[in-house]
Amino acid sequence: MENWRCTMYNIRKIAVMLVLFPMGSIAQEKTVPATGAQQQLSLDTILKRIDRNNLLLQSYGLRAEGYKYTAKAATAWMAPMVGVGTFMTPYPGQEVMEDRDKGSLMVQLEQDIPNPAKLNANKKYLESKANAELDGRGITLNDYKAQAKRLYYTWLVAAQKTKVLQLNEKIMLRMKKIEEIRYPYNQSKLGNVYAATAKLEENKNMIRMLEGDMGKSQAWLNSLMNRPGNATFSIDTLYDPEFHPAAVIDTAELALDRKDIHKMDHNIASMKLNIEAMKMQSRPDFRLRFDHMSPLTKMMPKAFSVMGMVSIPIAPWSSKMYKSEVKGMTYEVMAMEKEKSAMLQETQGMLYGMQYEIESMEKRITAMEDKIIPTLQKTLDINFLTYRENKMELPEVISAWEALTMMQTSVLDEKLKLYLMIVDYEKERYR
């Protein structure tokens, strides 16, 4: 009789603890104090800081500015040449019949005068290269934005996975506590306690791995923003990237949006200006020369010589060079035009294919979230309730717990794939 009373007392004690333990856990969840607040950076803020602070992006502007000064230098003339020497001076030891045969001291000035049309054409060509350099900045910025989005979304999904694992860890902790309470009364097996402990440690290892992913993303984002790699900040873990497919993808619109097409357009324009500059090689250049002679004897008067010279670039043996260059660059421009059209056509097909793939992925994720996870959650809830009533063994509950955890993390893995697909789509759309 006394043993029966002791057994009933212990059963009531276990029941009270099973009822109060979840309530205590819930209360504990609500009263967890917030740790040190960190600066929260949205994705837009990070992208703006990359645009403003990244050192490599700043180099493009400096290089473009350099082309402007190079273009100014293209209109400069060559420096004048000055020469000093003798003119018609006999070699030492020669017999000089008359004083006038002693020769003269000579000062020579020479200046090349380039054709202004050539200089202006070359200046326009060099100025046009600055535009292509700025387009190169746009391409690099687009790549950096895509990289930042990948890091941000990886951090976002890792944080969401961590939250899921932490919530599921509390469920496993409850089951472990129950097993530890039941074991002294031979109502559970010691192996169940060890199994729950192993699952908890496995769950913690997954959290540690995710923390490493988040730390790596934070460090790389800092480097893109030109900040110290160990600077800490947080992100908006509730952010949900949205995909807005284009009803129609037109090649003309792509040509306006894509930075690499802009660069190709400027390269084509620059090549055409180079062709015009090469055509200007048919224009003549000029040279002016002045010679002053001071005789070595007073019997001869001082003399000078002025000579103007002009090049004849239309001569057949010299015109062949620039004419062939013009033809070669003309064909190169035609090839670049074809390449541009091919890129636009290829990109159009690629973007349509990516849209279909993204939409299919969205449907799969919706089905997993709306149908599969709720079913697994109900299965776990029912099994856990049955387990609390001591009508089910722990391994069966662990199986339901693992199935739910695996599906929840799988959904987040699929979401990360979806987010990265959106990043790739946007990168190709505005490359």
CB atoms within 10 A of CB 51: 14
**Partners of residue 286 on adjacent β-strands:** 113, 310
- Distance from C-alpha of 92 to C-alpha of 85, rounded to nearest angstrom: 16
Using a CB cutoff of 8 Å and minimum separation of 24, what contacts does 30-39 make? 38/232, 38/233, 38/234, 39/233, 39/234
Residue by residue, pLDDT tens for the chain (431 residues) are: 444 444 444 444 444 444 444 433 333 333 333 344 578 899 999 999 999 999 999 998 888 888 888 888 888 888 899 999 988 888 887 777 777 778 889 999 999 988 888 888 888 888 888 888 888 888 999 999 999 999 999 999 999 999 999 988 888 888 888 777 776 766 667 777 788 888 888 889 999 999 999 999 999 999 999 999 888 999 998 888 888 888 888 888 888 888 888 889 999 999 999 898 888 888 888 999 999 998 888 778 888 899 988 888 888 877 888 888 888 989 999 999 999 999 989 988 999 999 999 999 999 999 998 999 999 989 888 888 887 888 878 788 888 888 998 999 999 999 999 999 999 998 888 77
Report the C-alpha gap between 218 and 230 in whole angstroms.
8
Neighbours of 292 (CB within 10 A): 16
Q: What angle do CA 73, 283, 121 make, to 5 degrees?
A: 35
For 36-77, write each residue's pLDDT tens digit.
Answer: 457 889 999 999 999 999 999 999 888 888 888 888 888 888
Q: Model pTM?
A: 0.78
**DSSP string covering 64-116, please?**
HHHHHHHHHHTTPPPPPEEEEEEESPPPTT---SSGGGG-EEEEEEEEEE--H
> Cα 276 vs. chain centroid, distance in angstroms?
36
pLDDT for residue 187: 63
Q: How many CB atoms lie within 10 A of CB 133?
A: 19
- Evaluate whether 278 touches 327 at the Cβ level (below 8 Å): no
**CA 243 – CA 421 distance, rounded (Å):** 10
3-state SS of 327-363 is HHHHHHHHHHHHHHHHHHHHHHHHHHHHHHHHHHHHH
Check residue 297 and report its DSSP letter. S
pLDDT at position 374: 92
Burial 197-211 (b: 16+ CB within 10 A, else e): eebeeebeebbeebe
Indicate the class that CATH gives domain 38-75+137-279+334-429.
mainly alpha
186: left (phi over 0), alpha (psi -120 to 50) or beta: left
CB 156 within 8 A of CB 418: no
- Dump pLDDT digits (tens) for 106-118: 999 999 988 888 8
Instruction: Provide the 8-state DSSP code for 299.
Output: T
Annotated domain spans of the chain: 1-30, 38-75+137-279+334-429
Per-residue CA distances from 372 to 48, 160, 267, 419 (Å)? 39, 18, 54, 21
